[in-house]
């Protein structure tokens, strides 16, 4: 028979095989499952601590509940609606005669402004006994009430039509308000009745306006509804008496079916919530801020018997993975982790503030989620896992028993080779993890050899605290928060986690993957079809931080081609017998080594920030371009040296290909080789400037040739005259914050002997420099351009396939067209014959 345990064993085997196939470097000596007896012992110890701290309490709390499984539903048990939260509505008890007509609202202050109630004429309501009152609610609401801690019994049905036209009493103000028909009222939301506050709620205003002049005599309504007086109760800057009316006019909302009605609602709500203050007609609450009022009012209303709390999901439906629609259940005598405990929360906030977060922008979300986190049910009646040590009928649910498991990796290594810990007393864990007591005492009470105890403790000290936890962005609100909560509860501050990194998802050709509905590409499939290294390269080259990776077959094919080019290129280098590393470094060799150092620096910085896309940009694509230029320039002798670093840079991304190449390059495994370190001494500004000059000059010539389309007989290059270099030097001195001081420049220029000889050309060049002031740099002054180009004359001639003459504009030699006057620092003048 397939027991749940067998299913666990099966999926564990499948998952492990998939992870091995893609080449994850996992220390499998430490593997374990959370349903092993040894692990349960560890969890019992953890929960013992939480209980002793009073962080686990028994009480009645609303939980997401699957009526089919008769169990609380955790984030991982949800098929649909995983983002839904539990909202606490105020259920305001309006009365019709001696019957209660409850209306749910998230803004209890608006009870002061109710002008009428809304009931859906096409909905059937029920008269129900709720505790010792008679309520009228929708059938859906009645169903929900059965899961609360109220005593309920269902009576007869009553149609919405029968309620319309009746008068209800506002329990707060005593005002009599009429019940009116509205088709927008959803029986599955709240009680299925809605209170109407047209001064502040755009929908109510629009719905009421739609009824003006309509014949409602069928409902027994004869009065003129346009006489209903709106009641304004919130003062907020920028709004007059009736914000709902103003916002409807401002946005030009046509009627209640206009999508802009929703926008108007949000706008009013936002402004009133943040800046609104209650008006005099709210009596004792006048002057209080709307943002602070909800809990105060709710407390008072409940105390005075005019309201109750009613829980609803923030979005519906919420579906359990068994397919059943979830409800909110008030569970009595349930065990809860008291995540709302202010002292506990404060420690988590403190821990977070000291942590590094990658990316840093995610911090606000963490802070908000901590702020919002409420108590969580931590136990359930059935499933797999560990029983609560003090109440064996309950099992610790699966998000609660995987919070500090990183510390268990230390023990797993020993358990997996036969150490028995499932009968051990807490002293063992206390010593290993908290350094309570002595090794000798721990050895004595456990019977474990003293040396082993000391070794385990020293392993723990070596590994803890957690340096980095990486996880998906969907786990921020649960796994990662609980990870923090439990660490700060169990461990002293010096063992609190140091960093967390958050990653996004992988989608498939633009579609979200789904296990149940598809599309789906498993790791196993991806590796089987594309190989491990192509799969890794593609995902890592497209992933950065919390952004999702879209798996596109075209892109994967391109990644494969790039990886093949890399491999073939490397093989060619390894087989090239003519490489002589011993020769003196040429300009292009110096350039290549300099570029390599920069790529290593860039890749290292990006890796430290877990920016895989950026790392690969430098370590793979840009370095590949550099190598192409190096070869094009006739470079060769440093290829092996570059390759050795390159293969090590690529090893984390494409380990299998790199491991094979490494057998011809270095000793042992590349996975054990050290990450390359940039050597600042090899960074060669001169060489990089020289190559840039050469590349720029070649591009400039090529551009001219593309335009003239003539076959050149000869090309003459004139490098900048000395006076223009002087001028640039002075311009850099007189430029501040991208602005060049023209009069200061000209004054300095005229005092300069070299420049003063060119009185006619100098102002024009100065103008040009002023225009480019924001991008002026001193780099071009570091290079002797004439010498550089002369040195590379042979290369220029072969690259352009024509004879090339080089002059300094100061000694222009042949210059029939006066081209040398155009030469500037960094931009030689070009004359083509
Ligand atoms: Zn279920």
Distance 320 CA to ligand 1 centre (A): 5
CA distance 416 to 411: 9
Q: Quick one: which of 753, 734, 751, 752 has its CA closest to 743?
A: 734
Distance 321 CA to ligand 1 centre (A): 6
Q: What is the pLDDT of residue 78?
A: 86
Distance 33 CA to ligand 1 centre (A): 23
Distance 66 CA to ligand 1 centre (A): 5
Q: What is the pLDDT of residue 791?
A: 87
Distance 303 CA to ligand 1 centre (A): 36
Distance 88 CA to ligand 1 centre (A): 23
Measured in whole angstroms, the distance separating CA 121 from the mean position of its chain's CA atoms is 46
Give the three-state DSSP class for 736. Answer: strand
Residue 376 pairs in a beta bridge with 337
Q: Quick one: which of 363, 305, 374 has its CA closest to 131?
A: 305
Distance 325 CA to ligand 1 centre (A): 8
pLDDT class of 1 with cuts at 50, 70, 90? low
Distance 400 CA to ligand 1 centre (A): 19
Distance 385 CA to ligand 1 centre (A): 18
Block residue for tokens 């490098």: 719
Tally of CB atoms within 10 A around 642: 21
Question: Strands 116-119, 376-377: parallel, antiparallel or unpaired by DSSP?
Answer: unpaired
Distance 252 CA to ligand 1 centre (A): 45
Distance 74 CA to ligand 1 centre (A): 10
Distance 62 CA to ligand 1 centre (A): 17
Are 185 and 120 spatial neighbours (Cβ–Cβ below 8 Å)? yes
Distance 397 CA to ligand 1 centre (A): 15
Taking each helix axis from N to C terminus, what angle separates 532-542 and 553-575, rounded to the nearest 10 degrees?
110
Distance 394 CA to ligand 1 centre (A): 18
Distance 52 CA to ligand 1 centre (A): 33
Distance 70 CA to ligand 1 centre (A): 8
pLDDT class of 772 with cuts at 50, 70, 90? confident
Q: What is the pLDDT of residue 748?
A: 86
CA distance 32 to 334: 29
Residue 636 pairs in a beta bridge with none
Q: What is the pLDDT of residue 582?
A: 86
Q: Quick one: which of 221, 268, 257 has its CA closest to 116?
A: 221
Distances (CA, A) of 626 to 118, 560, 677: 72, 21, 18
Distance 18 CA to ligand 1 centre (A): 29
Average pLDDT over residues 462-478: 94
Distances (CA, A) of 569 to 564, 640, 644, 670: 8, 11, 13, 18
Distance 380 CA to ligand 1 centre (A): 13
Distance 490 CA to ligand 1 centre (A): 32
Distance 322 CA to ligand 1 centre (A): 4
CA distance 173 to 170: 6
Distance 433 CA to ligand 1 centre (A): 37
Average pLDDT over residues 166-184: 94
Distance 382 CA to ligand 1 centre (A): 12
pLDDT per residue as tens digits for the range 185-238 = 999 999 999 999 999 999 999 999 999 989 999 999 998 999 999 999 999 998
Distance 144 CA to ligand 1 centre (A): 16
Q: What is the pLDDT of residue 213?
A: 86
Distance 316 CA to ligand 1 centre (A): 16
Distance 324 CA to ligand 1 centre (A): 5
pLDDT per residue as tens digits for the range 113-150 = 999 999 999 999 999 999 999 999 999 999 999 999 89
Residue 366 has pLDDT above 90, yes or no: yes
Distance 311 CA to ligand 1 centre (A): 20
Distance 81 CA to ligand 1 centre (A): 13
Distance 69 CA to ligand 1 centre (A): 5
Distance 318 CA to ligand 1 centre (A): 11
Q: What is the pLDDT of residue 751?
A: 86
Distance 474 CA to ligand 1 centre (A): 21
pLDDT per residue as tens digits for the range 255-288 = 888 889 999 999 999 999 999 999 999 999 999 9
Is the alpha carbon torsion for 437, 438, 440, 446 positive or negative? positive
Distance 302 CA to ligand 1 centre (A): 33
Distance 479 CA to ligand 1 centre (A): 21
Distance 4 CA to ligand 1 centre (A): 16
Distance 67 CA to ligand 1 centre (A): 7
Distance 139 CA to ligand 1 centre (A): 22
The answer to whether the predicted template modeling score (pTM) of the entire model surpasses 0.95 is: no
Distance 73 CA to ligand 1 centre (A): 8
Distance 104 CA to ligand 1 centre (A): 27
Distance 146 CA to ligand 1 centre (A): 18
pLDDT per residue as tens digits for the range 295-341 = 899 999 999 999 999 999 998 899 998 999 999 998 888 899 999 99
Average pLDDT over residues 684-689: 92
Are 127 and 110 spatial neighbours (Cβ–Cβ below 8 Å)? no
Measured in whole angstroms, the distance separating CA 106 from the mean position of its chain's CA atoms is 29
User: Which residues does 588 contact at the CB level (< 8 Å), separation at least 6?
Assistant: 630, 633, 634, 635, 687, 691
Distance 816 CA to ligand 1 centre (A): 90
pLDDT per residue as tens digits for the range 36-45 = 999 999 999 9
Distance 775 CA to ligand 1 centre (A): 64
Distance 329 CA to ligand 1 centre (A): 13
CA distance 378 to 358: 29
Q: What is the pLDDT of residue 61?
A: 83
pLDDT per residue as tens digits for the range 74-126 = 777 888 888 888 999 999 999 999 999 999 999 999 999 999 999 999 999 99
Share of the chain above pLDDT 90, in %: 71
Question: Strands 379-380, 549-551: parallel, antiparallel or unpaired by DSSP?
Answer: unpaired
Distance 147 CA to ligand 1 centre (A): 15
Average pLDDT over residues 364-382: 90
User: Which residues does 540 contact at the CB level (< 8 Å), separation at least 6?
Assistant: 612, 613, 615, 616, 653
Distance 791 CA to ligand 1 centre (A): 78
pLDDT per residue as tens digits for the range 706-759 = 888 878 899 999 999 989 988 898 888 888 877 888 888 888 888 888 888 888
Distance 383 CA to ligand 1 centre (A): 12
Residue 432 has pLDDT above 60, yes or no: yes
Distance 560 CA to ligand 1 centre (A): 43
**Mean pLDDT in the chain?**
92
Report, in angstroms and rounded to the nearest whole number, the Rg of the chain calculated over CA atoms. 38
Q: What is the pLDDT of residue 780?
A: 77
Distance 63 CA to ligand 1 centre (A): 13
Distances (CA, A) of 77 to 65, 71, 122, 337, 718: 10, 10, 35, 19, 74
């Amino acid at each position: 028979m397939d027991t749940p345990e067998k299913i666990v064993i099966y999926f564990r085997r499948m998952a492990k095989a998939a992870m091995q196939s893609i080449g994850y470097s996992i220390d499998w000596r430490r593997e374990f499952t959370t349903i092993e007896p040894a692990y349960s012992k560890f969890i019992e110890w953890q929960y013992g601590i939480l209980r002793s701290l009073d962080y686990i309490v028994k009480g009645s709390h609303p939980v997401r509940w699957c009526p089919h499984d008769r169990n609380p539903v955790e984030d991982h048990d949800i098929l649909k609606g995983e983002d839904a939260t539990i909202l606490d509505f105020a259920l305001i008890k309006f009365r019709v005669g001696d019957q209660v007509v409850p209306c749910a609202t998230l803004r209890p202050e608006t009870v002061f402004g109710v002008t009428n109630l809304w009931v859906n004429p096409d909905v059937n309501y029920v008269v129900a006994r709720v505790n010792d009152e008679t309520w009228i609610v929708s059938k859906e609401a009645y169903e929900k009430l059965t899961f609360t801690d109220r005593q309920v019994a269902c009576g007869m049905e009553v149609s919405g039509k029968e309620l319309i036209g009746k008068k209800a009493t506002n329990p707060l103000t005593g005002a009599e308000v009429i019940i009116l028909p509205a088709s927008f009222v959803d029986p599955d939301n709240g009680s299925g009745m809605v209170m109407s506050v047209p001064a502040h709620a755009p929908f109510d205003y629009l719905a009421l306006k739609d009824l003006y002049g309509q014949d409602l005599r069928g409902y027994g309504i004869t009065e003129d509804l346009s006489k209903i007086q709106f009641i304004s109760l919130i003062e907020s800057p920028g709004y007059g008496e009736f914000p709902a009316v103003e916002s409807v006019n401002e946005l030009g909302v046509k009627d209640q079916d206009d999508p802009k009605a929703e926008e108007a609602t949000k706008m009013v709500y936002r402004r009133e919530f943040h800046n609104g203050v209650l008006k005099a007609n709210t009596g004792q609450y006048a002057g209080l801020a709307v943002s602070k009022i909800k809990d105060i009012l709710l407390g008072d209303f409940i105390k005075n018997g005019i309201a109750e709390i009613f829980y609803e999901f923030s979005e519906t439906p919420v579906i359990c993975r068994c397919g059943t629609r979830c409800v909110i259940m008030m569970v009595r005598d349930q065990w809860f982790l008291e995540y709302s405990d202010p002292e506990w929360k404060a420690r988590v906030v403190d821990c977070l503030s000291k942590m590094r977060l990658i990316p840093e922008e995610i911090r606000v979300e963490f802070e908000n989620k901590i702020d919002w986190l409420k108590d969580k049910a931590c136990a359930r009646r059935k499933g797999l896992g560990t029983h609560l040590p003090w109440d064996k009928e309950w099992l610790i649910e699966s998000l609660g028993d995987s919070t500090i498991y990183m510390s268990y990796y230390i023990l797993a290594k020993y358990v997996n080779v036969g150490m028995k810990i499932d009968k051990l007393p807490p002293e063992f864990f206390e010593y290993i993890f908290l350094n309570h007591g002595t090794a000798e005492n721990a050895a004595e009470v456990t019977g474990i050899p003293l040396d082993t105890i000391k070794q385990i403790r020293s392993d723990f000290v070596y590994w803890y605290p957690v340096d980095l936890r990486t996880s998906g962005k969907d786990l921020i609100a649960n796994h990662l928060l609980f990870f923090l909560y439990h660490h700060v509860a169990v461990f002293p501050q010096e063992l609190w986690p140091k960093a967390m990194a958050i990653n996004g998802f992988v989608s498939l050709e633009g579609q979200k993957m789904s296990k149940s509905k598809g599309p789906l590409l498993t790791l196993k499939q991806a590796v089987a079809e594309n190989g491990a290294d192509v799969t890794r390269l593609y995902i890592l080259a497209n992933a950065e931080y919390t952004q999702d990776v879209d798996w596109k077959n075209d892109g994967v094919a391109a990644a494969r081609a790039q990886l093949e080019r890399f491999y073939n290129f490397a093989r060619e280098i390894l087989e090239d017998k003519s490489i002589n590393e011993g020769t003196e470094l040429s300009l292009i060799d110096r350039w290549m080594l300099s570029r390599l150092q920069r790529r290593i620096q860039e890749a290292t910085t990006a890796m430290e920030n877990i920016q895989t896309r950026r790392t690969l940009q430098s370590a793979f694509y840009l370095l590949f371009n550099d190598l192409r230029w190096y070869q094009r320039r006739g470079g060769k002798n440093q290829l092996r040296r570059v390759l050795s670093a390159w293969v090590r840079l690529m090893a984390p991304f494409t380990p299998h290909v790199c491991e094979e190449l490494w057998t011809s390059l270095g000793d042992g495994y590349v996975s054990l080789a050290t990450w390359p370190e940039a050597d600042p001494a090899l960074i060669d500004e001169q060489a990089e400037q020289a190559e840039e000059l050469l590349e720029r000059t070649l591009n400039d010539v090529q551009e001219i040739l593309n335009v003239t389309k003539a076959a050149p007989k000869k090309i003459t290059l004139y490098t900048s005259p000395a006076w223009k270099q002087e001028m640039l030097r002075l311009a850099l001195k007189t430029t501040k914050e991208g602005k060049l001081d023209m009069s200061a420049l000209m004054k300095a220029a005229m005092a300069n002997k070299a420049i003063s000889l060119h009185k006619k050309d100098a102002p024009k060049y100065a103008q040009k420099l002023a225009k480019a002031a924001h991008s002026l740099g001193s780099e071009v002054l570091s290079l002797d351009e004439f010498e550089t180009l002369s040195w590379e004359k042979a290369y220029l001639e072969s690259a352009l396939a024509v004879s090339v003459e080089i002059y300094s504009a100061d000694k222009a030699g042949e210059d029939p067209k006066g081209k040398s006057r155009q030469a500037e620092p960094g931009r030689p003048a070009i004359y083509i014959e």
